[in-house]
Structure 1
Amino acid sequence: MSEGYAGPFIAAEALGKQFGTRIALADVTFTVGPGEIVGLLGPNGAGKTTLIGCLLGFLLPSAGSIRLFGETAAELSPALRGRTGFVPQTMSGFGWFRVGELITYLGKFYAQEPGAPPPWLLDWAGLDPKARVKSLSGGQKQRLAIVLAMRHAPDLLILDEPVASLDPQARRDFMALLTRFCAQEGRSVLISSHILSDLEKIATRAIFMRHGSIIHDTPMARFRTSARWVAAPRDALPQHVSCLAEDRDTGALLVDGWDEASAAALAATLGAAPDVRIPDLETAFLEMTR
Protein backbone atom coordinates (compact mmCIF):
# COMPACT_ATOMS: atom_id res chain seq x y z
CA MET A 1 0.00 0.00 0.00
CA SER A 2 1.02 3.66 -0.24
CA GLU A 3 4.19 4.20 1.79
CA GLY A 4 3.33 5.75 5.14
CA TYR A 5 -0.36 6.12 4.26
CA ALA A 6 -2.72 5.24 7.11
CA GLY A 7 -6.08 6.58 5.86
CA PRO A 8 -9.02 4.88 4.13
CA PHE A 9 -8.37 3.02 0.90
CA ILE A 10 -11.46 4.67 -0.65
CA ALA A 11 -12.82 8.09 0.31
CA ALA A 12 -15.75 9.60 -1.61
CA GLU A 13 -16.97 13.05 -0.59
CA ALA A 14 -20.20 14.55 -1.98
CA LEU A 15 -19.52 12.69 -5.24
CA GLY A 16 -21.80 13.53 -8.15
CA LYS A 17 -21.93 12.43 -11.78
CA GLN A 18 -24.20 13.66 -14.56
CA PHE A 19 -24.59 12.51 -18.15
CA GLY A 20 -26.21 15.49 -19.81
CA THR A 21 -29.32 16.18 -17.76
CA ARG A 22 -29.42 12.69 -16.23
CA ILE A 23 -28.11 12.49 -12.67
CA ALA A 24 -26.32 9.17 -12.17
CA LEU A 25 -24.75 9.92 -8.76
CA ALA A 26 -25.77 12.55 -6.20
CA ASP A 27 -23.93 13.49 -2.99
CA VAL A 28 -22.31 10.07 -2.50
CA THR A 29 -20.11 10.05 0.61
CA PHE A 30 -18.47 6.97 2.14
CA THR A 31 -15.11 5.43 3.01
CA VAL A 32 -13.66 1.93 2.87
CA GLY A 33 -10.91 1.07 5.33
CA PRO A 34 -8.36 -1.74 5.53
CA GLY A 35 -9.78 -5.21 6.08
CA GLU A 36 -13.36 -4.41 5.07
CA ILE A 37 -15.51 -6.41 2.65
CA VAL A 38 -18.14 -3.89 1.58
CA GLY A 39 -21.20 -5.00 -0.35
CA LEU A 40 -22.51 -2.35 -2.75
CA LEU A 41 -26.23 -3.07 -3.11
CA GLY A 42 -28.82 -1.56 -5.41
CA PRO A 43 -31.18 -2.38 -8.30
CA ASN A 44 -30.20 -1.86 -11.92
CA GLY A 45 -29.81 1.87 -12.54
CA ALA A 46 -28.95 2.68 -8.92
CA GLY A 47 -25.53 4.05 -9.91
CA LYS A 48 -23.27 1.20 -8.77
CA THR A 49 -21.41 0.75 -12.06
CA THR A 50 -21.07 4.52 -12.50
CA LEU A 51 -19.58 4.75 -9.01
CA ILE A 52 -17.12 1.97 -9.83
CA GLY A 53 -16.22 3.78 -13.06
CA CYS A 54 -15.37 6.90 -11.04
CA LEU A 55 -13.35 4.80 -8.59
CA LEU A 56 -11.26 3.33 -11.39
CA GLY A 57 -10.72 6.67 -13.13
CA PHE A 58 -12.75 5.60 -16.18
CA LEU A 59 -15.23 8.43 -15.45
CA LEU A 60 -14.55 11.91 -14.09
CA PRO A 61 -16.89 13.20 -11.35
CA SER A 62 -19.18 16.13 -12.09
CA ALA A 63 -19.03 17.18 -8.43
CA GLY A 64 -17.23 16.27 -5.23
CA SER A 65 -14.19 14.03 -5.02
CA ILE A 66 -13.14 10.41 -4.90
CA ARG A 67 -9.74 9.27 -3.66
CA LEU A 68 -7.91 5.96 -3.52
CA PHE A 69 -5.09 5.68 -0.99
CA GLY A 70 -5.30 9.44 -0.48
CA GLU A 71 -4.85 10.36 -4.16
CA THR A 72 -7.46 11.50 -6.69
CA ALA A 73 -8.77 8.32 -8.34
CA ALA A 74 -8.33 9.58 -11.92
CA GLU A 75 -4.73 10.65 -11.24
CA LEU A 76 -3.27 7.67 -9.41
CA SER A 77 0.45 7.10 -9.71
CA PRO A 78 1.46 3.86 -11.48
CA ALA A 79 2.55 2.38 -8.15
CA LEU A 80 -0.84 3.00 -6.53
CA ARG A 81 -2.71 1.91 -9.66
CA GLY A 82 -0.90 -1.38 -9.25
CA ARG A 83 -2.27 -1.75 -5.73
CA THR A 84 -5.81 -2.11 -7.05
CA GLY A 85 -7.49 -5.02 -8.81
CA PHE A 86 -10.71 -4.94 -10.83
CA VAL A 87 -13.10 -7.65 -12.00
CA PRO A 88 -15.76 -6.46 -14.51
CA GLN A 89 -19.18 -8.00 -15.09
CA THR A 90 -17.88 -9.81 -18.17
CA MET A 91 -14.41 -10.27 -19.60
CA SER A 92 -13.91 -9.47 -23.28
CA GLY A 93 -10.98 -9.30 -25.68
CA PHE A 94 -7.63 -11.16 -25.68
CA GLY A 95 -9.26 -14.05 -27.54
CA TRP A 96 -6.14 -15.28 -29.34
CA PHE A 97 -4.00 -15.35 -26.20
CA ARG A 98 -3.48 -18.58 -24.39
CA VAL A 99 -4.42 -18.40 -20.70
CA GLY A 100 -0.84 -18.70 -19.42
CA GLU A 101 0.43 -16.20 -21.99
CA LEU A 102 -2.16 -13.62 -21.00
CA ILE A 103 -1.39 -13.94 -17.29
CA THR A 104 2.32 -13.39 -18.01
CA TYR A 105 1.73 -10.60 -20.55
CA LEU A 106 -0.51 -8.46 -18.37
CA GLY A 107 1.84 -8.90 -15.42
CA LYS A 108 4.44 -6.88 -17.32
CA PHE A 109 2.28 -3.73 -17.12
CA TYR A 110 2.73 -3.38 -13.36
CA ALA A 111 5.40 -1.07 -11.93
CA GLN A 112 6.87 -4.13 -10.23
CA GLU A 113 6.12 -7.29 -12.19
CA PRO A 114 4.19 -9.54 -9.78
CA GLY A 115 5.63 -12.86 -10.90
CA ALA A 116 3.54 -16.03 -11.05
CA PRO A 117 0.10 -16.04 -9.41
CA PRO A 118 -0.06 -17.92 -6.09
CA PRO A 119 -0.74 -21.66 -6.57
CA TRP A 120 -3.93 -21.56 -4.47
CA LEU A 121 -5.42 -18.99 -6.86
CA LEU A 122 -4.62 -21.08 -9.93
CA ASP A 123 -5.96 -24.18 -8.19
CA TRP A 124 -9.26 -22.39 -7.56
CA ALA A 125 -9.51 -21.22 -11.19
CA GLY A 126 -8.79 -24.69 -12.60
CA LEU A 127 -7.86 -23.31 -16.04
CA ASP A 128 -5.68 -24.96 -18.68
CA PRO A 129 -2.78 -22.52 -19.26
CA LYS A 130 -2.55 -23.68 -22.89
CA ALA A 131 -6.23 -23.04 -23.70
CA ARG A 132 -7.03 -20.02 -25.87
CA VAL A 133 -9.13 -17.37 -24.17
CA LYS A 134 -11.69 -17.43 -26.99
CA SER A 135 -12.37 -21.13 -26.31
CA LEU A 136 -13.30 -20.59 -22.65
CA SER A 137 -16.87 -20.68 -21.39
CA GLY A 138 -18.40 -17.61 -19.75
CA GLY A 139 -17.69 -18.98 -16.29
CA GLN A 140 -14.09 -19.86 -17.20
CA LYS A 141 -13.51 -16.36 -18.58
CA GLN A 142 -14.82 -14.90 -15.35
CA ARG A 143 -12.46 -17.08 -13.32
CA LEU A 144 -9.62 -15.86 -15.54
CA ALA A 145 -10.66 -12.23 -14.92
CA ILE A 146 -10.54 -12.93 -11.18
CA VAL A 147 -7.05 -14.44 -11.47
CA LEU A 148 -5.84 -11.40 -13.43
CA ALA A 149 -7.28 -9.03 -10.80
CA MET A 150 -5.88 -10.89 -7.78
CA ARG A 151 -2.58 -12.27 -9.04
CA HIS A 152 -0.55 -9.26 -7.86
CA ALA A 153 -2.07 -9.29 -4.33
CA PRO A 154 -3.70 -5.83 -4.55
CA ASP A 155 -4.54 -3.92 -1.39
CA LEU A 156 -7.94 -3.02 -2.82
CA LEU A 157 -10.09 -5.31 -4.94
CA ILE A 158 -13.09 -3.81 -6.79
CA LEU A 159 -15.66 -6.25 -8.16
CA ASP A 160 -18.62 -5.46 -10.40
CA GLU A 161 -21.00 -8.46 -10.46
CA PRO A 162 -18.08 -10.90 -10.48
CA VAL A 163 -19.98 -14.16 -9.89
CA ALA A 164 -23.04 -13.84 -12.13
CA SER A 165 -21.67 -16.41 -14.60
CA LEU A 166 -20.21 -18.81 -12.01
CA ASP A 167 -21.94 -22.00 -10.93
CA PRO A 168 -23.01 -22.36 -7.25
CA GLN A 169 -19.91 -24.33 -6.21
CA ALA A 170 -17.55 -21.85 -7.91
CA ARG A 171 -19.42 -18.97 -6.23
CA ARG A 172 -19.11 -20.58 -2.84
CA ASP A 173 -15.39 -21.23 -3.33
CA PHE A 174 -14.86 -17.66 -4.53
CA MET A 175 -16.55 -16.17 -1.48
CA ALA A 176 -14.23 -18.24 0.72
CA LEU A 177 -11.32 -17.00 -1.38
CA LEU A 178 -12.37 -13.37 -0.78
CA THR A 179 -12.50 -13.93 2.96
CA ARG A 180 -9.01 -15.43 2.83
CA PHE A 181 -7.83 -12.49 0.71
CA CYS A 182 -9.05 -9.88 3.20
CA ALA A 183 -7.58 -11.72 6.16
CA GLN A 184 -4.10 -11.12 4.74
CA GLU A 185 -2.52 -7.81 5.75
CA GLY A 186 -5.73 -5.80 5.97
CA ARG A 187 -6.68 -5.86 2.30
CA SER A 188 -10.13 -4.60 1.30
CA VAL A 189 -12.91 -5.54 -1.11
CA LEU A 190 -15.73 -3.47 -2.61
CA ILE A 191 -18.15 -5.85 -4.32
CA SER A 192 -21.33 -5.10 -6.27
CA SER A 193 -23.55 -8.15 -6.61
CA HIS A 194 -27.21 -9.08 -6.93
CA ILE A 195 -26.60 -12.45 -5.25
CA LEU A 196 -27.28 -11.21 -1.75
CA SER A 197 -27.22 -14.63 -0.09
CA ASP A 198 -23.50 -14.77 -0.95
CA LEU A 199 -22.78 -11.26 0.29
CA GLU A 200 -24.62 -11.85 3.55
CA LYS A 201 -22.10 -14.58 4.41
CA ILE A 202 -18.92 -12.57 3.87
CA ALA A 203 -19.60 -8.82 3.89
CA THR A 204 -18.55 -6.80 6.91
CA ARG A 205 -20.58 -3.81 5.72
CA ALA A 206 -23.44 -3.07 3.33
CA ILE A 207 -24.05 0.14 1.37
CA PHE A 208 -27.55 0.42 -0.12
CA MET A 209 -28.02 2.66 -3.18
CA ARG A 210 -31.12 3.92 -4.98
CA HIS A 211 -31.45 6.52 -7.75
CA GLY A 212 -27.76 7.44 -7.54
CA SER A 213 -27.65 8.06 -3.79
CA ILE A 214 -26.67 6.09 -0.70
CA ILE A 215 -29.79 5.44 1.37
CA HIS A 216 -28.25 3.29 4.10
CA ASP A 217 -24.71 2.36 5.15
CA THR A 218 -24.40 -0.19 7.94
CA PRO A 219 -21.93 -2.66 9.39
CA MET A 220 -23.29 -6.18 8.94
CA ALA A 221 -22.82 -6.84 12.66
CA ARG A 222 -25.22 -3.98 13.39
CA PHE A 223 -27.67 -5.17 10.72
CA ARG A 224 -27.82 -8.59 12.36
CA THR A 225 -28.35 -7.27 15.88
CA SER A 226 -30.48 -4.15 15.42
CA ALA A 227 -32.38 -4.40 12.12
CA ARG A 228 -35.86 -5.87 12.59
CA TRP A 229 -39.27 -6.11 11.00
CA VAL A 230 -41.71 -4.64 13.53
CA ALA A 231 -45.50 -4.71 13.27
CA ALA A 232 -46.31 -1.27 14.67
CA PRO A 233 -47.41 2.21 13.56
CA ARG A 234 -44.52 4.42 12.48
CA ASP A 235 -45.40 7.16 14.97
CA ALA A 236 -45.23 4.66 17.87
CA LEU A 237 -41.54 3.85 17.35
CA PRO A 238 -39.10 4.99 20.06
CA GLN A 239 -37.10 8.07 19.07
CA HIS A 240 -33.78 6.25 18.76
CA VAL A 241 -35.24 3.73 16.27
CA SER A 242 -35.24 4.75 12.62
CA CYS A 243 -37.55 3.37 9.92
CA LEU A 244 -35.79 2.16 6.78
CA ALA A 245 -38.73 0.77 4.80
CA GLU A 246 -42.28 -0.48 4.99
CA ASP A 247 -43.53 -3.82 3.72
CA ARG A 248 -46.33 -2.82 1.34
CA ASP A 249 -48.08 -6.16 1.76
CA THR A 250 -48.09 -6.48 5.56
CA GLY A 251 -47.43 -2.91 6.72
CA ALA A 252 -44.55 -4.08 8.93
CA LEU A 253 -41.72 -1.58 9.35
CA LEU A 254 -38.06 -2.36 8.71
CA VAL A 255 -36.24 -0.53 11.50
CA ASP A 256 -32.66 0.13 12.56
CA GLY A 257 -31.55 0.58 16.16
CA TRP A 258 -33.78 -2.10 17.69
CA ASP A 259 -32.82 -3.42 21.13
CA GLU A 260 -34.42 -4.66 24.34
CA ALA A 261 -35.20 -1.12 25.46
CA SER A 262 -37.00 -0.51 22.15
CA ALA A 263 -39.12 -3.62 22.65
CA ALA A 264 -40.06 -2.60 26.18
CA ALA A 265 -40.88 0.99 25.19
CA LEU A 266 -43.02 -0.04 22.22
CA ALA A 267 -44.85 -2.70 24.25
CA ALA A 268 -45.68 -0.05 26.85
CA THR A 269 -47.00 2.29 24.14
CA LEU A 270 -49.08 -0.36 22.38
CA GLY A 271 -50.19 -2.21 25.48
CA ALA A 272 -48.83 -5.49 24.09
CA ALA A 273 -45.59 -6.86 22.71
CA PRO A 274 -45.38 -6.24 18.95
CA ASP A 275 -44.61 -8.95 16.40
CA VAL A 276 -40.86 -8.71 15.66
CA ARG A 277 -38.96 -10.63 12.99
CA ILE A 278 -35.29 -10.81 11.99
CA PRO A 279 -34.81 -9.72 8.34
CA ASP A 280 -32.50 -11.31 5.82
CA LEU A 281 -30.38 -9.06 3.62
CA GLU A 282 -32.31 -9.85 0.42
CA THR A 283 -35.73 -8.99 1.87
CA ALA A 284 -34.38 -5.79 3.41
CA PHE A 285 -32.80 -4.86 0.08
CA LEU A 286 -36.00 -5.45 -1.89
CA GLU A 287 -38.11 -3.23 0.39
CA MET A 288 -35.50 -0.48 0.83
CA THR A 289 -34.83 -0.09 -2.90
CA ARG A 290 -38.36 -0.31 -4.35
Structure 2
Amino acid sequence: VLAVGGGSVIDSAKAIALGVPHEGDVWELYLSKKQPQSDPLPVATVLTIPAAGSESSPNTVITNEETRRKLGYGSPKLRPVFSIINPELFFTLPHRQMANGISDMMSHIFERYFTKTLHTDLSDSLCEATLRTIMKNARILNGNLNDYNAWAEIAFSGNIAHNNLLGVGREQDWGCHAMEHELSALYHVDHGAGLAVVTPAWMKYVSPKHQEIFVQFAVNVMGVEGSFREPSAIIREGISRLERFYRELGLPTTMEELNILPGDFPLMAEQAVSVRGPVGGLEKLDVRDIQAIYRLGCSNLQHA
Protein backbone atom coordinates (compact mmCIF):
# COMPACT_ATOMS: atom_id res chain seq x y z
CA VAL A 1 0.00 0.00 0.00
CA LEU A 2 1.57 3.31 -1.08
CA ALA A 3 0.58 6.34 0.99
CA VAL A 4 1.17 9.77 -0.57
CA GLY A 5 0.33 12.39 2.04
CA GLY A 6 0.72 13.19 5.71
CA GLY A 7 -0.09 11.36 8.91
CA SER A 8 -3.80 10.83 8.22
CA VAL A 9 -3.13 9.35 4.79
CA ILE A 10 -0.30 7.15 6.06
CA ASP A 11 -2.30 5.96 9.07
CA SER A 12 -5.25 5.16 6.81
CA ALA A 13 -2.91 3.18 4.54
CA LYS A 14 -1.74 1.22 7.55
CA ALA A 15 -5.36 0.48 8.47
CA ILE A 16 -5.97 -0.76 4.92
CA ALA A 17 -2.82 -2.88 5.13
CA LEU A 18 -4.15 -4.38 8.36
CA GLY A 19 -7.65 -4.85 7.07
CA VAL A 20 -7.03 -6.57 3.73
CA PRO A 21 -5.84 -9.90 5.22
CA HIS A 22 -7.94 -9.60 8.39
CA GLU A 23 -11.10 -11.64 8.65
CA GLY A 24 -13.65 -9.23 10.08
CA ASP A 25 -13.86 -5.50 10.72
CA VAL A 26 -10.41 -3.92 11.05
CA TRP A 27 -11.87 -1.53 13.66
CA GLU A 28 -12.02 -4.56 16.01
CA LEU A 29 -8.22 -4.52 16.17
CA TYR A 30 -8.19 -0.86 17.24
CA LEU A 31 -10.64 -1.67 20.02
CA SER A 32 -9.04 -4.90 21.23
CA LYS A 33 -5.36 -4.02 20.56
CA LYS A 34 -4.82 -7.68 19.61
CA GLN A 35 -2.20 -8.60 17.03
CA PRO A 36 -3.71 -9.71 13.72
CA GLN A 37 -3.63 -13.38 12.80
CA SER A 38 -2.29 -12.54 9.32
CA ASP A 39 0.59 -10.21 8.49
CA PRO A 40 -0.47 -6.80 7.15
CA LEU A 41 0.46 -5.77 3.64
CA PRO A 42 3.72 -3.82 3.31
CA VAL A 43 3.33 -0.03 3.54
CA ALA A 44 5.48 2.59 1.80
CA THR A 45 5.13 6.38 1.93
CA VAL A 46 5.82 9.60 0.07
CA LEU A 47 5.62 12.27 2.77
CA THR A 48 3.88 15.55 1.90
CA ILE A 49 3.36 16.94 5.43
CA PRO A 50 6.08 16.56 8.10
CA ALA A 51 4.19 16.20 11.37
CA ALA A 52 2.98 12.83 12.59
CA GLY A 53 6.17 10.86 11.97
CA SER A 54 4.04 7.97 10.73
CA GLU A 55 6.45 7.55 7.81
CA SER A 56 8.85 5.77 10.18
CA SER A 57 6.66 4.60 13.07
CA PRO A 58 4.82 1.31 13.66
CA ASN A 59 1.70 3.16 14.82
CA THR A 60 -1.59 4.23 13.26
CA VAL A 61 -4.49 6.36 14.51
CA ILE A 62 -7.83 6.47 12.71
CA THR A 63 -11.29 7.89 13.36
CA ASN A 64 -14.54 5.94 13.15
CA GLU A 65 -16.87 8.57 11.73
CA GLU A 66 -19.99 6.60 12.69
CA THR A 67 -19.14 6.20 16.38
CA ARG A 68 -17.02 9.39 16.57
CA ARG A 69 -14.17 7.47 18.21
CA LYS A 70 -10.51 8.07 17.46
CA LEU A 71 -8.18 5.23 18.46
CA GLY A 72 -4.64 4.07 17.85
CA TYR A 73 -3.01 0.76 17.08
CA GLY A 74 0.59 -0.39 16.87
CA SER A 75 2.48 -3.31 15.38
CA PRO A 76 6.16 -3.60 14.34
CA LYS A 77 4.94 -5.01 11.03
CA LEU A 78 3.26 -1.67 10.21
CA ARG A 79 6.52 0.28 10.11
CA PRO A 80 6.87 1.43 6.46
CA VAL A 81 9.35 -0.51 4.34
CA PHE A 82 10.56 2.75 2.79
CA SER A 83 9.66 6.44 2.91
CA ILE A 84 10.56 9.27 0.54
CA ILE A 85 11.04 12.64 2.26
CA ASN A 86 11.63 15.56 -0.12
CA PRO A 87 11.51 19.02 1.52
CA GLU A 88 10.49 20.63 -1.78
CA LEU A 89 7.12 18.87 -1.50
CA PHE A 90 6.37 20.97 1.59
CA PHE A 91 6.68 24.39 -0.09
CA THR A 92 2.99 24.52 -0.98
CA LEU A 93 1.70 23.67 2.50
CA PRO A 94 -0.59 26.25 4.10
CA HIS A 95 0.89 28.03 7.10
CA ARG A 96 -1.75 26.41 9.33
CA GLN A 97 -0.55 22.92 8.44
CA MET A 98 3.06 23.86 9.08
CA ALA A 99 2.09 25.06 12.56
CA ASN A 100 -0.03 21.99 13.26
CA GLY A 101 2.85 19.76 12.24
CA ILE A 102 5.25 21.54 14.55
CA SER A 103 2.86 21.08 17.47
CA ASP A 104 2.37 17.39 16.73
CA MET A 105 6.05 16.49 16.44
CA MET A 106 6.89 18.44 19.60
CA SER A 107 4.16 16.53 21.41
CA HIS A 108 5.65 13.23 20.26
CA ILE A 109 8.83 14.26 22.04
CA PHE A 110 7.02 15.51 25.14
CA GLU A 111 5.23 12.16 25.45
CA ARG A 112 8.64 10.49 25.75
CA TYR A 113 10.60 13.23 27.53
CA PHE A 114 8.36 13.68 30.56
CA THR A 115 9.04 10.46 32.43
CA LYS A 116 9.72 9.08 35.87
CA THR A 117 12.55 6.93 34.48
CA LEU A 118 15.96 7.99 35.83
CA HIS A 119 19.46 7.77 34.30
CA THR A 120 18.33 8.86 30.85
CA ASP A 121 21.05 11.44 30.22
CA LEU A 122 21.55 10.68 26.53
CA SER A 123 17.89 10.48 25.51
CA ASP A 124 17.14 13.58 27.64
CA SER A 125 19.75 15.51 25.67
CA LEU A 126 18.54 14.14 22.34
CA CYS A 127 14.96 15.16 23.17
CA GLU A 128 16.04 18.64 24.20
CA ALA A 129 18.22 19.18 21.13
CA THR A 130 15.43 18.05 18.80
CA LEU A 131 12.90 20.34 20.48
CA ARG A 132 15.25 23.32 20.18
CA THR A 133 15.90 22.48 16.51
CA ILE A 134 12.17 22.32 15.79
CA MET A 135 11.47 25.66 17.47
CA LYS A 136 14.39 27.41 15.75
CA ASN A 137 13.41 26.25 12.27
CA ALA A 138 9.68 26.71 12.86
CA ARG A 139 10.38 30.39 13.42
CA ILE A 140 12.25 30.50 10.10
CA LEU A 141 9.31 28.88 8.31
CA ASN A 142 6.95 31.26 10.08
CA GLY A 143 8.46 33.96 7.90
CA ASN A 144 9.32 31.94 4.79
CA LEU A 145 7.51 28.72 3.86
CA ASN A 146 9.92 28.14 0.96
CA ASP A 147 13.08 27.69 3.03
CA TYR A 148 14.48 24.32 1.94
CA ASN A 149 16.99 23.99 4.77
CA ALA A 150 14.42 24.78 7.46
CA TRP A 151 11.99 22.22 6.02
CA ALA A 152 14.80 19.64 5.89
CA GLU A 153 15.54 20.19 9.58
CA ILE A 154 11.83 20.01 10.44
CA ALA A 155 11.26 16.86 8.39
CA PHE A 156 14.24 15.09 9.97
CA SER A 157 13.13 16.21 13.42
CA GLY A 158 9.58 14.98 12.88
CA ASN A 159 10.96 11.63 11.78
CA ILE A 160 13.27 11.32 14.79
CA ALA A 161 10.47 12.46 17.09
CA HIS A 162 8.33 9.40 16.41
CA ASN A 163 10.57 6.51 15.31
CA ASN A 164 11.10 5.88 19.06
CA LEU A 165 14.83 6.59 19.15
CA LEU A 166 14.05 9.30 21.70
CA GLY A 167 11.95 6.92 23.79
CA VAL A 168 14.47 4.11 24.23
CA GLY A 169 14.74 3.07 27.87
CA ARG A 170 12.06 5.48 29.06
CA GLU A 171 8.58 4.92 30.47
CA GLN A 172 6.46 6.98 28.09
CA ASP A 173 3.36 9.05 28.83
CA TRP A 174 0.90 9.58 25.92
CA GLY A 175 -1.72 11.19 28.15
CA CYS A 176 -1.94 14.37 26.06
CA HIS A 177 -2.51 12.38 22.88
CA ALA A 178 -5.25 10.34 24.53
CA MET A 179 -6.99 13.50 25.76
CA GLU A 180 -6.61 15.34 22.45
CA HIS A 181 -7.96 12.44 20.40
CA GLU A 182 -11.32 13.01 22.05
CA LEU A 183 -11.29 16.68 21.01
CA SER A 184 -10.53 15.94 17.38
CA ALA A 185 -12.92 12.97 17.28
CA LEU A 186 -15.88 14.95 18.59
CA TYR A 187 -15.15 18.36 17.08
CA HIS A 188 -12.88 17.51 14.10
CA VAL A 189 -10.31 20.07 15.21
CA ASP A 190 -6.79 19.78 13.81
CA HIS A 191 -4.75 17.36 15.92
CA GLY A 192 -1.83 19.78 16.26
CA ALA A 193 -4.15 22.63 17.26
CA GLY A 194 -5.78 20.47 19.92
CA LEU A 195 -2.39 19.47 21.30
CA ALA A 196 -1.38 23.13 21.54
CA VAL A 197 -4.29 23.60 23.95
CA VAL A 198 -4.10 20.33 25.90
CA THR A 199 -0.32 20.19 26.41
CA PRO A 200 0.21 23.39 28.42
CA ALA A 201 -2.92 22.59 30.47
CA TRP A 202 -1.53 19.13 31.22
CA MET A 203 1.82 20.65 32.19
CA LYS A 204 0.14 23.02 34.64
CA TYR A 205 -1.79 20.13 36.20
CA VAL A 206 0.98 17.53 36.63
CA SER A 207 4.11 19.66 37.10
CA PRO A 208 3.65 20.37 40.84
CA LYS A 209 4.23 16.66 41.55
CA HIS A 210 7.14 16.30 39.12
CA GLN A 211 9.09 19.51 39.42
CA GLU A 212 12.54 18.18 38.55
CA ILE A 213 11.79 17.19 34.94
CA PHE A 214 9.75 20.34 34.32
CA VAL A 215 12.53 22.57 35.65
CA GLN A 216 14.93 20.72 33.36
CA PHE A 217 12.61 21.35 30.41
CA ALA A 218 12.17 25.03 31.25
CA VAL A 219 15.92 25.60 31.54
CA ASN A 220 17.32 23.34 28.81
CA VAL A 221 14.62 23.80 26.16
CA MET A 222 12.85 27.08 26.84
CA GLY A 223 15.95 28.92 28.11
CA VAL A 224 14.47 30.05 31.43
CA GLU A 225 16.86 31.54 33.97
CA GLY A 226 16.21 31.95 37.66
CA SER A 227 16.87 30.64 41.12
CA PHE A 228 16.58 26.87 41.52
CA ARG A 229 15.25 27.66 44.99
CA GLU A 230 12.08 28.78 43.22
CA PRO A 231 11.31 25.82 40.95
CA SER A 232 7.62 26.71 40.63
CA ALA A 233 8.51 30.10 39.12
CA ILE A 234 10.89 28.49 36.63
CA ILE A 235 8.23 25.95 35.62
CA ARG A 236 5.53 28.60 35.18
CA GLU A 237 7.79 30.65 32.96
CA GLY A 238 8.73 27.58 30.90
CA ILE A 239 5.08 26.75 30.25
CA SER A 240 4.31 30.38 29.50
CA ARG A 241 7.11 30.52 26.92
CA LEU A 242 5.76 27.37 25.27
CA GLU A 243 2.30 28.96 25.04
CA ARG A 244 3.82 32.12 23.57
CA PHE A 245 5.65 30.01 20.98
CA TYR A 246 2.40 28.33 19.97
CA ARG A 247 0.70 31.71 19.64
CA GLU A 248 3.66 33.00 17.62
CA LEU A 249 2.87 30.27 15.08
CA GLY A 250 -0.81 31.18 15.11
CA LEU A 251 -1.89 28.11 17.06
CA PRO A 252 -4.75 28.23 19.59
CA THR A 253 -4.01 27.92 23.30
CA THR A 254 -7.55 27.86 24.73
CA MET A 255 -10.61 25.65 24.35
CA GLU A 256 -12.63 28.71 23.38
CA GLU A 257 -10.51 29.16 20.25
CA LEU A 258 -11.39 25.58 19.27
CA ASN A 259 -15.10 26.23 19.94
CA ILE A 260 -15.19 23.30 22.37
CA LEU A 261 -18.04 23.41 24.87
CA PRO A 262 -17.28 22.64 28.55
CA GLY A 263 -20.50 20.65 28.67
CA ASP A 264 -18.76 17.97 26.56
CA PHE A 265 -15.82 17.58 28.96
CA PRO A 266 -17.43 14.69 30.93
CA LEU A 267 -18.14 12.71 27.75
CA MET A 268 -14.67 13.27 26.33
CA ALA A 269 -13.03 12.32 29.64
CA GLU A 270 -15.06 9.11 29.83
CA GLN A 271 -14.18 8.24 26.25
CA ALA A 272 -10.47 8.86 26.88
CA VAL A 273 -10.32 6.13 29.55
CA SER A 274 -12.89 3.77 28.02
CA VAL A 275 -10.46 1.44 26.24
CA ARG A 276 -7.41 1.20 28.49
CA GLY A 277 -8.42 2.90 31.73
CA PRO A 278 -6.48 5.83 33.23
CA VAL A 279 -4.16 7.51 30.74
CA GLY A 280 -0.60 8.76 31.10
CA GLY A 281 2.69 7.46 32.43
CA LEU A 282 4.25 10.32 34.36
CA GLU A 283 0.94 10.74 36.18
CA LYS A 284 -2.01 8.39 35.84
CA LEU A 285 -5.08 10.44 34.96
CA ASP A 286 -8.64 9.33 35.63
CA VAL A 287 -11.87 10.94 34.47
CA ARG A 288 -11.75 13.60 37.18
CA ASP A 289 -8.14 14.53 36.34
CA ILE A 290 -8.88 14.77 32.62
CA GLN A 291 -11.85 17.04 33.17
CA ALA A 292 -9.68 19.28 35.35
CA ILE A 293 -7.06 19.48 32.58
CA TYR A 294 -9.72 20.33 30.01
CA ARG A 295 -10.89 23.15 32.33
CA LEU A 296 -7.31 24.44 32.59
CA GLY A 297 -7.47 24.82 28.82
CA CYS A 298 -10.37 27.27 29.18
CA SER A 299 -9.38 30.86 29.83
CA ASN A 300 -12.56 31.46 31.86
CA LEU A 301 -12.50 28.17 33.80
CA GLN A 302 -8.84 27.79 34.75
CA HIS A 303 -9.53 28.34 38.43
CA ALA A 304 -12.90 26.57 38.57
TM over 0.5: no
- Which structure is higher in RCO with an 8 Å CA cutoff and minimum separation 6? 1
* Higher gyration radius (CA): 1
Report which of the two has the higher share of helix: 2
More strand by share: 1
